[in-house]
């Protein structure tokens, strides 16, 4: 049998070693259980998924926006696992581990194909495969969408590189690989919309290492940009579908709930936070709680200055070290969808969000280290030792971090150890303890509610203070909305928001909705029933609803003379109910003898009866 060329043998061996190593490090996950954090939604309590692969299940997957996302291939992946392994968690974990190892191999293959630097590419792929920040993406069954979408994303990049490296005159090969790249992007977007930045990554690769931009004329540069148009159209459609799904699921906070300035401040700090955890991966948690208030101004300014300095330095060195700017823009750009400018969910940041972005940071670090060490006398031994130490350190930290994902109790106890005011961790720990220790579980649930309630009440109180000050109604509304963003089931905040909205032009219909929410959450809320009745009485065709609300007020507070009077007014307009109206006017007068309007209405109704 013919032997493979020597030049291909070494990369094949390196790739095999990489795949086996990454898979072995993450293999302990196959002994882990499901966790009570999205796993019930994605697998263990999802009847569509538990039914395995079927035409009915596939139709559901493509039409579903469950979990506030549209990702049909992710659902189908979980269905396939259930088809093969049932509800045994080891098989679900094994699939994720193999996909992650395959991603590391794909990244190595891609970088080597673009740069020809096998050892640098191997180190970048090893850091990607073994970094503890990526444990969440692999060990959490619900995050299958991360490893699966990245698999197709890397395949799309590989197909793109293959297309642009087609020999001259091979137009057919170019078009075939371009179509393959688009197909893989489409499949990746159907796993997770994180890939919406991939067309921008293609532009970065044209700059370095492919060098297409430098070789192109001004006209052909326009062609290079036009080449990306189908990719941008595809991600635009996927972005629209994702925002619609998340908005429908109530996962997206509006700019009224969280002002844009607060989002930008958090984004700046979070960019630096991810860099810090990349360099020193400690205190990693399944959930980092987000509270919708701006970080300290000093922290925000320091983060902005650091990011600006790195950007400026990378741009200044572009001609001599282009990988710095490309890697940096890869990191910054691919984080944009999840950096918080569009706030989805209640997390400040998430380890899983670094799965693709950190590739850019690893490229910056490895290529810089290799170029700097090239001037050293011991340019082979020392860099190799340093790289080995870093890889071993990542492996040790990953092996430790992955153990926290063995079950829900371990996962959320660790999250509570490394974070503060973590209501999700308390609730998750309660769910994990619900069968083995119901009393301890109840205590954890109460702690979760107490954190949310206390924080929401702070914003509610601030809103009340603003409401007392002339001209501060908009500020009051913002605070009430923030309170409800934190704790949607707070009836007082719904009532206060309704009261503030009722006094704004065009705010009456939304005020009605807020008062309705308040009485739904607190049926004996007499004040909310009263104002709801008042607004309904001023809405055409809703007098019957207003009557019902005033009657509810009087059942709760019979001495509420204003409700007696208002109910009398509504009944007086209904033929045949004049006597009931008079009864309510008389009741109002017994409570408040000085209510001359009630006396006048009684006289008027008696006169009309004669």
Is the per-residue pLDDT at 3 higher than 80? no
Q: Is residue 498 part of a domain?
A: no
User: CA angle at residue 499 from 495 to 501, to 5 degrees?
Assistant: 115
* 507 in a structural domain: no
Task: Report pLDDT digits (tens) over 438-457.
Answer: 889 889 888 887 887 777 77
Task: Provide the pLDDT for residue 377.
Answer: 59
- Number of domains the chain is built from: 1
**How much is the pLDDT for 255?**
39
In a domain, 592, yes or no: no
Q: How confident is the model at residue 292 (pLDDT cuts 50, 70, 90)?
A: low
Q: Is the pLDDT of residue 423 over 90?
A: no
Span 125-182, pLDDT tens digits:
999 999 999 999 999 999 999 999 999 999 999 999 999 886 554 788 899 999 999 9
Q: Is residue 209 included in any domain, yes or no?
A: yes
Is residue 432 within 8 Å of 412, Cβ to Cβ?
yes
| pLDDT for res 69 | 84
Range of the domain at 158: 10-413
- How do residues 207-225 score in pLDDT, each as one tens digit? 999 999 988 888 889 999 9
Residue 1 confidence (pLDDT) above 90: no
* 8 A C-beta contact, residue 135 and residue 397: no
Q: Residue 13: pLDDT above 50?
A: yes
Q: What is the full DSSP assignment across 241-280? A: HHHHHHHHTT-BPPTTTS-HHHHHHHHHHHHHHHHHHHHS
Residue 25 falls inside a structural domain: yes
Distance between CA atoms of 177 and 149, rounded to whole angstroms? 19
pTM assigned to the model: 0.80
Read off the pLDDT band of 261 (50, 70, 90).
confident
Residue 574: pLDDT band with limits 50, 70, 90? confident
What ranges in 419-505 are assigned the alpha helix state H? 423-433, 438-468, 473-486, 491-502
Read off the pLDDT band of 253 (50, 70, 90): very low
Q: Please indicate, yes or no, if residue 466 is contained in any of the structural domains.
A: no
pLDDT at position 8 over 80: no
- Specify if 590 maps to a domain: no
Task: Look at residue 452 and tell me if it is in a domain.
Answer: no
Q: What percent of the chain has pLDDT over 70?
A: 94
pLDDT confidence of residue 4: 46
Alpha carbons 317 and 335: distance in angstroms, whole number: 23
The DSSP output letter for 350 is -
């Amino acid at each position: 049998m013919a032997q493979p060329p020597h030049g291909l043998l070494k990369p094949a061996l390196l790739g095999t070693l990489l795949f086996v190593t990454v898979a072995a490090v993450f293999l302990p996950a196959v002994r882990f259980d499901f966790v009570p954090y999205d796993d019930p939604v994605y697998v263990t309590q999802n009847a569509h998924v538990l039914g395995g692969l079927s035409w009915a299940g596939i139709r559901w997957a493509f039409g579903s926006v469950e979990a506030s996302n549209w990702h049909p291939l992710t659902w189908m992946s979980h269905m396939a696992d259930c088809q093969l392994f049932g509800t045994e968690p080891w098989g679900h974990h094994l699939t994720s581990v193999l996909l992650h190892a395959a991603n590391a191999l794909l990244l190595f293959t891609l970088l080597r194909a673009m740069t020809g630097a096998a050892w640098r590419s191997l180190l970048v792929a090893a850091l990607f495969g073994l970094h503890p920040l990526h444990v969440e993406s692999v060990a959490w069954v619900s995050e299958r969408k991360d490893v699966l979408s990245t698999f197709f994303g890397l395949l799309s990049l590989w197909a793109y590189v293959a297309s642009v490296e087609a020999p001259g005159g091979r137009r057919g090969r170019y078009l075939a690989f371009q179509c393959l790249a688009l197909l893989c992007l489409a499949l990746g977007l159907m796993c997770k919309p994180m890939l919406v930045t991939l067309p921008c990554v293609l532009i970065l690769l044209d700059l370095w290492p492919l060098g297409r931009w430098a070789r192109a004329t001004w006209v052909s540069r326009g062609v290079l940009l036009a080449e990306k148009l189908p990719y941008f159209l595809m991600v635009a459609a996927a972005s629209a579908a994702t925002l619609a799904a998340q908005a429908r699921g109530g996962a997206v906070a509006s700019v009224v709930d969280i002002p844009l300035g607060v989002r930008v401040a958090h984004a700046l700090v979070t960019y630096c936070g991810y860099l810090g955890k990349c360099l020193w991966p400690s205190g990693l948690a399944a959930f980092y709680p987000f509270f919708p208030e701006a970080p300290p101004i000093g922290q925000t300014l320091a983060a902005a200055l650091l990011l600006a300095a790195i950007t400026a330095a990378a741009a200044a060195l572009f001609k001599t070290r282009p990988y710095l700017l490309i890697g940096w823009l890869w990191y910054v750009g691919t984080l944009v969808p999840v950096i918080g400018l569009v706030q989805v969910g209640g997390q400040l940041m998430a380890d899983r969000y670094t799965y693709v972005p950190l590739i850019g940071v690893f490229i910056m670090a490895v290529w810089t280290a290799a170029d700097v060490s090239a001037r050293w006398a011991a340019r082979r031994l020392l860099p190799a030792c340093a790289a080995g130490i870093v890889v071993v350190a990542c492996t040790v930290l990953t092996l430790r971090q992955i153990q926290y994902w063995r079950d829900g109790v371990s996962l959320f106890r660790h999250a509570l150890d490394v974070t503060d005011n973590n209501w999700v961790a308390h609730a998750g720990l309660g769910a994990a303890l619900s069968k083995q220790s119901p009393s301890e579980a109840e205590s954890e649930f109460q702690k979760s509610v107490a954190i949310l309630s206390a924080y929401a009440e702070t914003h509610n109180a601030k809103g009340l203070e603003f409401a007392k000050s002339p001209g501060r109604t908009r500020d009051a509304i913002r605070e009430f909305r923030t309170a409800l963003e934190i704790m949607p089931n707070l009836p007082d905040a719904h009532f206060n928001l309704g009261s503030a909205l009722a006094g704004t032009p065009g705010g009456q219909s939304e005020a009605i909705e807020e008062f309705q929410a308040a009485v739904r959450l607190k049926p004996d809320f007499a004040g909310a029933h009263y104002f709801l009745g008042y607004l309904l009485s001023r809405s055409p065709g809703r007098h019957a609803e207003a009557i019902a609300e005033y009657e509810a007020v009087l059942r709760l507070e019979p001495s509420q003379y204003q409700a007696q009077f208002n109910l009398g007014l509504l009944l007086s307009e209904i033929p045949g109910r004049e006597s009931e109206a008079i009864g309510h006017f008389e009741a109002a007068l017994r409570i408040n003898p000085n209510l001359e309007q009630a006396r006048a209405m009684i006289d008027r109704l008696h006169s009309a009866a004669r």
